[in-house]
Structure 1
Amino acid sequence: MRRQEFRLDWTYDRLCGFDLETTSTDPQTARIVTGSAVQHGGGRPTSPRTWVSDLGGAEIPPEATRIHGFTTEAARSAGRPAAEVVEEITAALAAAVDEGRPLVIMNASYDLTVLDREARRYGVTPLMDRVSPAVLDPYVLDKRVRQYRRGGRTLADLCRHYVVPLDGAHTSEVDATAACELVRKMGRRYRVLASMSPAQLHREQVAWAREQNESLRAYFARTPGKEGWARDVRLEWPLLPLVEPVR
């Protein structure tokens, strides 16, 4: 009797989660405070790697400290030279891509843009100039499969909705690990996602993110008091293009 073969989809494969904690919400100027690359799943133990940057002379404003807990003094004391941290993070992600792993990044256009600008700031070859990753973004995916779901879509909101542990939110290792678990649950709940390869999903997310951001831009434009916000909504995903020299 011929054995029946079952195809396992990408939700059973090894993924690489990535997350940054930074100095600012502006990806063009934010500096990396901590970063984590977490190898997750695929029938193997989770393997995290975390970096702390000395900020390269920048400072952490109080509002950022309240989110991730790092002060300027703590980062400079515990951190390694920023240029080395940026190179090592970029190299680790490129290696994961070369090994065939999707990059799982919550709100990818922020983290990947920060990493890109930091690379350019320190003369490091940017990630997208090294490899062409397949990126899985829980934020974009959830907005696609549950467009009209009530509630927020922060990482904490999504973890509550999909019942994913998030102990110690706003540490880069915990957030990167949670993002991996999120996309696995999404893929297994919504088979339309698991039926596509990571590369196909990446291409679809480019279009989905544009549609989602166009809708948000239109909402702001027609809402009294929010009209000015519309011009700040960017349509590109997963990397915002460079439009001016990095500062």
Structure 2
Amino acid sequence: MSWHRGPLVGFDLETTGTDPLQARIVTAAIVEVRDAEVVRRHDWLADPGVLIPAQASEIHGISSERAVAEGRPVREVAREIAEVLAGYWALGVPVIAYNAAFDLSLLAAELRRHGLPRLAEAAPVIDPLTIDRAVDRFRRGKRTLEAACGEYGVVLESAHEASADALAAVRVAIAIADRHPQVAALDLADLHRSQIGWYAEWATDFQKFLRRKGNADAVVDTAWPLREAPPTAVRAPAGPAAGS
């Protein structure tokens, strides 16, 4: 049975900004999916410990005032998210995150910031964005989650709401596997390894593009799915404002 017919877990963060090494968690969701339907979900609202910029609040709808009043300390939230993800990985269940390098790198940065244990070995991970870039490289247009949902016929009920985005990411991954049999045919270990290479190839090409456009010092990090240290120069955006 192909990986996309088994249990899958969607993961999404909504955050204070677009830099995964500096931004903080505001909301988070982990959804367990079977047959494209949610069978279990975890949701968090965090007090990030910093002001949430108005631009981010406009995207995900969470103000600083609400986060302080209703959110739990971000240290507790980050620890719990990491524990839930580690539990699924220990069972061999893939975690699906759209633009995984953003969400997982941000979570890892929060764990370091608060002196918590490192994120468990992040594998297997499935990133529909990375796969879509590889299998449909020359398609024009945006590659946001909303655009991917439109391309693959997935309904996104409430963009930038963490649980809705997490579920949509899973359904996009399933739709990609249905459309591209070579993706469905890979086992999880091979798919994970393939994405490391696909992401590095994309990052290298994007860096060349930025330099051709006049940014001679541009550096696009090739690490996937975790980015541990800031690059030495300009980095390509790791994710949309306030999460995916």
From 124, 131, 140, the counterpart of 1:141: 131
2:14 to 21, 28, 32: 21
1:156-167 alignment, distance < 5 Å: 156-167=146-157
In 1, Cα distance between equivalents of 2:36 and 2:150: 25
Rounded to whole Å, the distance in 2 between the matches of 1:206 and 1:43 is 25
The counterpart of 1:34, out of the listed 11, 17, 27, is 27
1:52 maps to which residue? 45
Partner residue, 2:185: 195
Name the structure 2 match of 1:3. Answer: none
Q: Is the 8 A contact 1:105 1:176 kept in 2?
A: yes
For 1:40, what is the secondary structure of its paired residue?
A: strand
RMSD across aligned C-alpha pairs, in angstroms? Answer: 1.5
| Whole-angstrom distance in 1 between the partners of 2:142 and 2:170 | 19
Whichever residue aligns with residue 83 of structure 1, its letter is R
1:139-190 CA-partner distances (Å, limit 9, x unpaired): 1000011000111100000000001010110011000000000101111110
| Match status 1:9 vs 2:36 | no
Equivalence map 1:1-247=2 (5 Å): 8-42=1-35, 45-55=38-48, 57-127=49-119, 130-224=120-214, 227=215, 230-231=218-219, 233-243=220-230
Once the two structures are TM-superposed, the CA of residue 235 in structure 1 deviates from its matched residue by 1.2
Q: Is the 2:20–2:106 Cα contact (8 Å) retained in structure 1?
A: yes
Structure 1: which 4+ aligned runs deviate by more than 4 Å? Answer: 42-45
Question: Amino acid of the residue matched to residue 41 of structure 1?
Answer: R
Structure number with larger C-alpha Rg: 1
Q: Distance in 1 between matches of 2:36 and 2:30?
A: 18
Q: After superposition, give the CA deviation of every residue in 1:123-153 in whole Å (9 maximum; x if it has no partner).
A: 21122xx234111101100001100011110
Q: List runs of 5+ in structure 2 lacking aligned partners.
A: 232-244
CA distance in 1 between partners of 2:11 and 2:107 (Å): 11
SS of 1:19's equivalent in the other structure is strand
Q: Which amino acid aligns with 1:240?
A: R
Partner of 2:242: none
For residues 178-229 of structure 1, what are the alpha-carbon distances to aligned partners after superposition, in whole Å with 9 as ceiling and x for unaligned?
A: 00001011111101001111111110110110000100100110114xx157
| Counterpart residue type for residue 113 of structure 1 | S
Distance change (3 Å), C-alpha of 1:100 and 1:61: same
CA positional deviation for 1:45: 4.4
| CA distance 1:80–1:236, change in 2 (3 Å) | same
Cα 1:21–1:132 shift into 2, 3 Å: closer
Greater share of residues in helix: 1
> What percent of counterpart residues are identical?
37
Give me the TM-score of the superposition, normalised by structure 1. Answer: 0.90
Secondary structure at the counterpart of residue 230 of structure 1: coil
Deviation, structure 1 residue 107: 0.6
Are residues 228 and 75 of structure 1, via their aligned partners in 2, closer, same or farther at CA, if it must alter by over 3 Å? farther
> More relative contact order in 1 or in 2 (CA 8 Å, sep 6+)?
2
Amino acid corresponding to residue 210 of structure 1 in structure 2: A
Contact 1:15 1:42 in 2 (8 A): no
Task: Give the gaps of 5 or more residues in structure 1.
Answer: 1-7
Q: Partners of 1:46 and 1:9 in 2: how far apart? A: 20
Shift of residue 243, structure 1, vs aligned partner? 4.9
- The alignment covers a number of residue pairs equal to 231
